[in-house]
């Protein structure tokens, strides 16, 4: 087994009593002594601090950077305003999803954040653009996420100027004398920030945030239950190379100008497939799944219709602490995708009643100004 | 109250009266599993066999099995635990018990660990 990597906050996690687990090649905190349930509820009620330094941070610089990046994603990068952020997807020639990512127009460069598990693949992909722009992995930076309804008031004591940011915008600010790049975004459905900070200052920033009365450390366990309640996709589960953005119900992420009738139509991998799917529809879709009983329905469970015919599968599932019920997401045939459709999930071979549910399970509370 | 016996899967068993035993999961097990959100117990009257899956325990993150520490007939299940699986986190060896079994082969208990042996196992696990 290859050696697991550690983030700059590794020692702090141990000091805080974290239970460390291997995740995407890193030793990461799955939970702290409070436990997943309390950590989840604390984030929804106050504010949680997450170490997401395992994710890949990449800088694309040069006059052609946006044009070049548009060849890899079905998203408008050229018209992304200064200090604005956008969700995007790397697609393959079949229209399948290679990864999801965040792109921020930082002025003299594009700031890109990709998933830890896909980091090497994504970097190789981005390096194919090197004839048109400079591609630099920011491996000397950590990434912290502060999330929750009281994230802004906690942050205000450390960097008051960040309160003017609205959801999906960014600012370069000095925090504790350190050059940080901050976006108002996250992966919990709550208001909050993601802070890119030089590795050597990450621990002192984390300690300053944890010193705020609203803030508790939150592990990957609660990060997963929070994003599931918020209806957000986890790469490798809810989206992968076998699913297209249209099937994944991510049509909203496909910018108008890149669609078939747009000013810069196509020009990304799988454009023909994706454009055809937008025009003609798809045979299966990602939907929310609400188990009717108390038993969690997890990733991999087969979904069957009332005639016991398999019509899909669960791709993420577990327990939603905020609603105190099991919740799940999965793919079903388009004919069965209407909210309220009654299906059965096979759990340990036994059918359990479930319903197609509206996503998100918990209302998103982003700060839009 | 008789002494607790333990399995390598971190279940405990305590003889209650005659050949009836109470079964639950250990403090170590609940700690490893984390917050429990669902338990599925065998029905009263069903037969369970030593070392065989006889119930399901689910935490926020994952599902695992309850293996019967000894063979016999299920004579009672903890309905309060079904309603509030968190009882097994709060009081794993008390209010958070799982099932009561009328043992069909009490000699099976000899294969289980006593307190000293289980403590030693935990020590090894905690390295």
List CB contacts of A131: < 8 A, sequence separation 6 or more: none
Q: What is the pLDDT of residue B126?
A: 82
Segment B54-71 shows an average pLDDT of 93
Q: Which of B9, B103, B17 is nearest to B57 (CA)?
A: B9
- Residue B41 placed within a domain: yes
- Residue B84 placed within a domain: yes
Question: Could you give the C-alpha distances from A28 to A23, A100, A120, in angstroms and in order?
Answer: 6, 21, 18
- Residue B73 placed within a domain: yes
Q: Which of A21, A36, A292 to mutate to test the interface with B (most CBs of B within 10 A)?
A: A36
Q: In chain A, which stretches have pLDDT less than 70?
A: 1-2
Host H or E run for residue A10: helix A10-15
- Residue B113 placed within a domain: no
Task: Please tell me what DSSP assigns to residue A4.
Answer: P
CA gap B35, B88 in Å, rounded: 9
**Confidence tier at B1 by pLDDT (50, 70, 90):** low
Maximum distance among all alpha carbons in chain B?
Answer: 41
- For tokens 């309804």, the residue is A149
- Domains contained in chain A, CATH given: 10-54+139-229 (3.30.1360.120), 283-369 (2.40.30.110)
**CB-based contact (8 Å) between B95 and chain A?**
no
- For tokens 């604390």, the residue is A42
CA gap A61, A44 in Å, rounded: 37
Maximum distance among all alpha carbons in chain A?
Answer: 64
Which pLDDT tens digit goes with each residue over B26-36? 999 999 999 99
Segment B85-100 shows an average pLDDT of 97
Burial B100-118 (b: 16+ CB within 10 A, else e): bbebeeeebbeebbeeeeb
Range of the domain at B17: 4-99
% chain A with pLDDT above 90: 98
**CA distance, residue B15 to nearest chain A CA (Å):** 30
Beta bridge partners of A181: A172, A196
Q: What is the pLDDT of residue B62?
A: 86
List CB contacts of A132: < 8 A, sequence separation 6 or more: A62, A64, A65, A67, A68
Q: Which of B32, B33, B35 to mutate to test the interface with A (most CBs of A within 10 A)?
A: B35
**CA distance, residue B35 to nearest chain A CA (Å):** 6
CB A168 within 8 A of CB A85: yes
- Residue B89 placed within a domain: yes
- Residue B111 placed within a domain: no
Question: Which tokens in the block code for residue A275?
Answer: 């454009």
pLDDT(B2) > 90: no
Report residue A219: phi and psi, to 5°.
-95, 180
% chain B with pLDDT above 70: 98
Number of structural domains in chain B = 1
Question: Which tokens in the block code for residue B99?
Answer: 């099932």
CB A111 within 8 A of CB A103: yes
In order, the DSSP letters of A175-200 are ETTEEEEEES--SSSBSEEEEEEEHH
Q: Which bin fits A156, alpha (ψ -120 to 50), beta or left (φ > 0)?
A: alpha
Q: Which of A57, A60, A210 is nearest to A143 (CA)?
A: A57
Q: Which among A318, A326, A348 has CB closest to B61?
A: A318
Q: CB distance A30–B61 less than 8 Å?
A: yes
- Residue B79 placed within a domain: yes
Question: Which tokens in the block code for residue A258?
Answer: 């890149």
Q: Which of A38, A218, A294 to mutate to test the interface with B (most CBs of B within 10 A)?
A: A294
Report residue B117: phi and psi, to 5°.
-65, -40
- Residue B120 placed within a domain: no
3-state secondary structure chain B: CCCEEECCCCEEEEEEECCEEEEEECHHHHHHHCCEEEEECCCCCCEECCCCEEEEEEECCCEEEEECCCCEEEEEECHHHHHCCCHHHHCCCCCCCCEEEEECCHHHHHHCECHHHHHHHHHHHCC
Q: What is the pLDDT of residue A2?
A: 67
Q: What is the pLDDT of residue B52?
A: 95
The CATH number assigned to the domain holding B8 equals 2.40.50.100
Q: What is the pLDDT of residue B18?
A: 86
**CB-based contact (8 Å) between B125 and chain A?**
no
Q: CB distance A36–B34 less than 8 Å?
A: yes
**Confidence tier at B17 by pLDDT (50, 70, 90):** confident
Which 3 state secondary structure label does DSSP give A108?
coil
Residue of B nearest to A327 (CA): B60
**CA distance, residue B7 to nearest chain A CA (Å):** 24
């Amino acid at each position: 087994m290859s050696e697991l990597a550690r983030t700059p906050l590794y020692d702090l996690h141990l000091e805080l009593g974290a239970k460390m687990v291997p995740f995407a090649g890193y030793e990461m905190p799955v939970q702290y002594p409070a436990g997943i349930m309390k950590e989840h509820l604390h984030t929804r009620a106050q504010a949680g601090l997450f170490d997401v330094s395992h994710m890949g941070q990449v800088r694309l610089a040069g006059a052609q950077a946006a044009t070049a990046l548009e060849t890899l994603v079905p998203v408008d990068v050229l018209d992304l305003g200064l200090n604005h952020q956008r969700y995007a997807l790397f697609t393959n020639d079949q229209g399948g999803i290679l990864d999801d990512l965040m792109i921020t127009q930082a002025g003299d460069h594009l700031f890109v954040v990709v998933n830890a598990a896909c980091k090497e693949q994504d970097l190789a992909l981005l390096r194919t653009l090197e004839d048109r722009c400079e591609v630099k992995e920011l491996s000397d930076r950590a990434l912290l996420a502060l999330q929750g309804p009281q994230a802004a008031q906690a942050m205000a004591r450390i960097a008051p100027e960040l309160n003017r940011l609205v959801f999906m915008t960014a600012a370069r600010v000095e925090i504790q004398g350190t050059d940080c790049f901050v976006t108002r975004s996250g992966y919990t459905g709550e208001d909050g920030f993601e802070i890119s900070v030089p590795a050597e200052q990450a621990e002192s920033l984390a300690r300053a945030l944890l010193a705020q009365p609203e803030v508790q450390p939150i592990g990957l366990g609660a990060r997963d239950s929070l994003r599931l309640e918020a209806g957000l996709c986890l790469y490798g589960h809810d989206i992968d190379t076998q699913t297209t953005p249209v099937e994944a119900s991510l049509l909203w992420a496909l910018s108008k100008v890149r669609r078939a009738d747009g000013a810069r139509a196509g020009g990304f991998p799988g454009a023909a497939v994706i454009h055809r799917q937008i025009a003609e529809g798809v045979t299966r879709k990602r939907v929310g799944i609400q188990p009717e009983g108390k038993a969690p329905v997890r990733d991999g469970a087969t979904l069957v219709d009332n005639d016991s015919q398999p019509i899909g599968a669960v791709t993420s599932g577990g327990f939603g602490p905020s609603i105190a019920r099991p919740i799940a997401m999965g793919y079903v045939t388009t004919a069965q995708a209407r909210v309220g459709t009654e299906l059965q999930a096979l759990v340990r071979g036994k059918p359990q009643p479930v319903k197609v549910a509206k996503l998100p399970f918990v209302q998103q509370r982003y700060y839009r100004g | 109250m008789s002494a607790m016996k333990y399995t390598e899967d971190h279940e405990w068993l305590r003889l209650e009266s005659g050949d009836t035993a109470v079964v639950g999961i250990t403090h170590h097990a609940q700690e490893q599993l984390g917050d429990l959100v669902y338990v599925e117990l065998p029905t009263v009257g069903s037969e369970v066999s030593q070392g065989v899956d006889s119930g399901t325990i689910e935490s926020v993150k994952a599902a695992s099995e309850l293996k019967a520490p000894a063979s016999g007939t299920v004579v009672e299940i903890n309905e309060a635990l079904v309603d509030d699986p968190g009882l097994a986190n709060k009081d794993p060896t008390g209010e958070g018990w799982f099932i009561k079994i009328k043992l069909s082969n009490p000699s099976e208990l000899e294969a289980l660990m006593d307190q000293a042996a289980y403590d030693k196992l935990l020590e090894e696990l905690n390295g």
